[in-house]
Amino acid sequence: MQQTSYHYPLTTHAVEAALRAGVILRKGFGTKFAISSKESDHDLVTDYDKAAEEAILDYLGNHFPTHSFLAEESGLSIHSGSDIQWIIDPLDGTLNFAHQIPMFCVSIAAMVKNEILIGVIYDPLLDELFIAEKGFGAFLNGKRLVVSHRDSIKKAVLATGFPYSSEAMREASIGQFMKFVEYTSPLRILGSAALTMAYVAAGRFDVYWGSNLQSWDLAAAVLLIVEAGGRVTHFDGSPQNIFERSNILATNTFLHDQALSILK
C-alpha cells in the first residue's frame, strides 16, 4: 500500500516522477529497443533509460523550474536561484533490463544545501516503492523499514557488485569478495546498486559493499539505509560522500565494524 501523506512536499513529486518512469520501464521491459555502450562494453544505455529520464525531468522541471538537476544520462543542470538539487537515476540496472533480467529500479533523491532530504527507489516490476524522508524514517509500500539485527558476519547475507570500467577495481573487488567468502557463503549480486541498498534498508541483506559508484546510484539509497537504522561509510570508515566516485559500505550497523575490518 502506497503512502498518501508525507512530511515534505517534495516527496509527493518524487514519488509521482518515479511512478511515471516506472510505467515506461514496465512497458519497455522485454521488448526490442536500441542499446549502446558508454565507458565499457557492459556499461549500457537504452532508449528506455533516456525515455524514463525525460519523463522524470519533464515532470519535475515543470513543477520546479528553478531547481537544479543531476541525472545520469543528461548530466548536471544548475540553477543558481535555488538550494535544491535533484539526483536522478532513471534506470539503475540497465544491463539487467537490456538482457531481460527482472531486477532494476528508478532512483530519485532531493538535496537541500548538500543534505539529502528525501529518497525514492521504485521497482516497477514488483511494484515496490521505497521512500525515505530525513528524520521521519524509511518505508516500503507504506510499511516502516528497519534494518536486520544480525550481529555475526558468519550468519549474515551479504551483497556486492563488480565495477565495469577499471581492471584494477575489478581485481580489488574480486579480492574483497573472496575475503568475505571466508566468513560467510550467502553472497548475492543483483546488478542494481540502488536496489541492493534498498534491500539492506529492508533487512533483506545485512551488508553491501561496492566500488566506483556514482552519486545517482547512492543518493536515495543512502538515506533509506540511515533512516532504517543502518550505517553507511567509505571502506576506511570515513563518512560517506555521495559526490566522491569511490567506494561504499552499507550495513545494518551491528556488522559495520566487522565488515570494515575485513575490507581493510
Q: Which of 223, 231, 229, 261 is nearest to 249 (CA)?
A: 231
Q: What is the pLDDT of residue 224?
A: 98
Q: 22 and 123: one domain?
A: yes
Is position 115 within any domain? yes
Whether residue 174 sits in one domain with residue 107: no
Q: Is residue 121 part of a domain?
A: yes
**Average pLDDT value for the chain:** 91
Looking up cell 584494477 gives 168
- Same-domain status, 111 and 189: no
| 3 located within any domain | no
* Number of folded domains that form the chain: 2
Where does a domain end: 94, 112, 144?
Answer: 144
Distance CA 219, CA 107 (A): 8
Structural domain includes residue 1:
no
Which residue in this structure is represented by grid cell 543542470? Answer: 77
pTM, two decimals, is 0.93
| 2, part of any domain | no
Q: Are residues 113 and 157 in the same domain?
A: no
Same domain, 126 and 160: no
- Whether residue 169 is found in the same domain as residue 254: yes
Residue given cell 539505509 in the structure block = 225
Q: What's the pLDDT band for 77 if we cut at 50, 70, 90?
A: confident
Q: Is the pLDDT of residue 43 over 70?
A: no
Judgement on whether residues 184 and 206 belong to the same structural domain of the protein: yes
pLDDT of 103 > 90? The answer is yes
Lowest mean pLDDT among 33-37, 53-57, 64-68, 72-76: 33-37
Q: With cut-offs at 50, 70 and 90, classify the pLDDT of residue 170.
A: low
Which residue spans within the chain are E strands per DSSP?
Answer: 35-37, 44-46, 68-71, 75-77, 84-92, 105-112, 115-123, 128-133, 137-140, 143-144, 158-160, 187-188, 207-210, 231-233, 248-251
Query: How many C-alpha atoms does 60 have within 13 Å on its Cβ side?
Result: 34
Query: Do 249 and 158 form a contact (C-beta atoms < 8 A)?
Result: no
Residues 170 and 244 in one domain: yes
pLDDT band at 33; cut points 50, 70, 90: confident
Q: What is the mean pLDDT of residues 69-81?
A: 85
Retrieve residue 41's grid coordinates: 562494453
Residue 72: which CATH number? 3.30.540.10
**pLDDT, tens only, 150-168:** 999 999 999 998 876 666 5
Statement: residue 47 has pLDDT above 80: yes
Q: Cβ distance 200 to 208 under 8 Å? A: yes
Which CATH number belongs to the domain containing residue 194 in this structure? 3.40.190.80
Parent domain of 100: 9-144
